[in-house]
Each structure stands twice: as structure tokens, then as C-alpha cells.
Amino acid sequence: MSETNKAVCLKFIEVLGRGDAQAVGSLLAEDVCAVSKGTSIASGSRNRAEIIAVLGMFSQITKTGLNPKIVSITGEADRVVVEWEGDCILVTGEPYNNQYCMVFTLHEGKISGLNEYFDTKLTDAALGPILPAPAG
């Protein structure tokens, strides 16, 4: 099962890199919870609809997509860990090259949990000026 789960996680990162919200949604369980660790503007917990919205936003704020490069992948039973690097140009013309570690939990072939670790200082500096203001 871990090879199948690895494939689902790699597909998630691929479609995230393109900002393909519809494809992202097809990989998520209905009750999924994603937690971006740290204290960044991008940190916090998100449900399925919020994950799709945030990941779809990348197609609007990048000129090139995230262009993920997989560094390593490890899978055991329902848990998969992927280290990867993004390499993109933002709509501002500035580079945004972050490093990520995503810890996935899967259930019945869908992502049911995700803990994400990344350079929060870089995220704030690069994305803060171009992200839409939070609603409310």
C-alpha cells in the first residue's frame, strides 16, 4: 500500500505545483485537515475547501508554477513523508524558491491529513505583499 500512497502524494505535489485546484480536490478526503506549521501568514489549519482555495491561488501568484523538485520520499503503511523544493517566479518578477517537508496521512487512497513545514520567513517576505487580505 505504501507505493500507492506515495504515488498519491507525488501527484498532489505535481498538481499543487501547477495550481490545479480541481486535481488537488480529487486527491483529498472529505474530512481532510492540513496544518502548515509555524507563525507565517500561511500557517494554520485548513479544511478541504480551504486547502483547494489556497493551492489554487498559486496559479494566480506565480508566472511559472512552483516547479516542484522531489528531494526524498519515504512511505510506510498510511504515512508518507516528502521533501521537495519549489522553483518559481512570482507575478512580481521575484523568485520564490522555498523548501518543504510534507507529512501525509492517507485513508482509502485519499489524503486525510497533512502537516507541512517550510521556510516561514521566506514565505512572509515573498508572498505577504501579494497575497489577498484575509476575509472578515
pLDDT at site 1: 63
The pTM of the full predicted model, rounded to 2 decimals, is 0.92
Q: What is the DSSP letter of 90?
A: B
Q: Do 97 and 87 meet the contact criterion of CB atoms below 8 Å apart?
A: yes
pLDDT at site 75: 96
Residue 132 has pLDDT above 80, yes or no: no
What would the pLDDT profile of 92-129 be if each residue is shown by its tens digit?
999 999 999 999 999 999 999 999 999 999 999 999 88
What would the pLDDT profile of 40-93 be if each residue is shown by its tens digit?
888 999 999 999 988 878 788 998 889 999 999 999 999 999 999 999 999 999
Average predicted confidence (pLDDT) for the chain: 92
* Domains contained in the chain, CATH given: 2-120 (3.10.450.50)
Question: Which of 3, 17, 5 is CA-nearest to residue 86?
Answer: 17
pLDDT at site 133: 57
Q: Do 36 and 42 meet the contact criterion of CB atoms below 8 Å apart?
A: yes
pLDDT at site 82: 98
pLDDT at site 37: 96
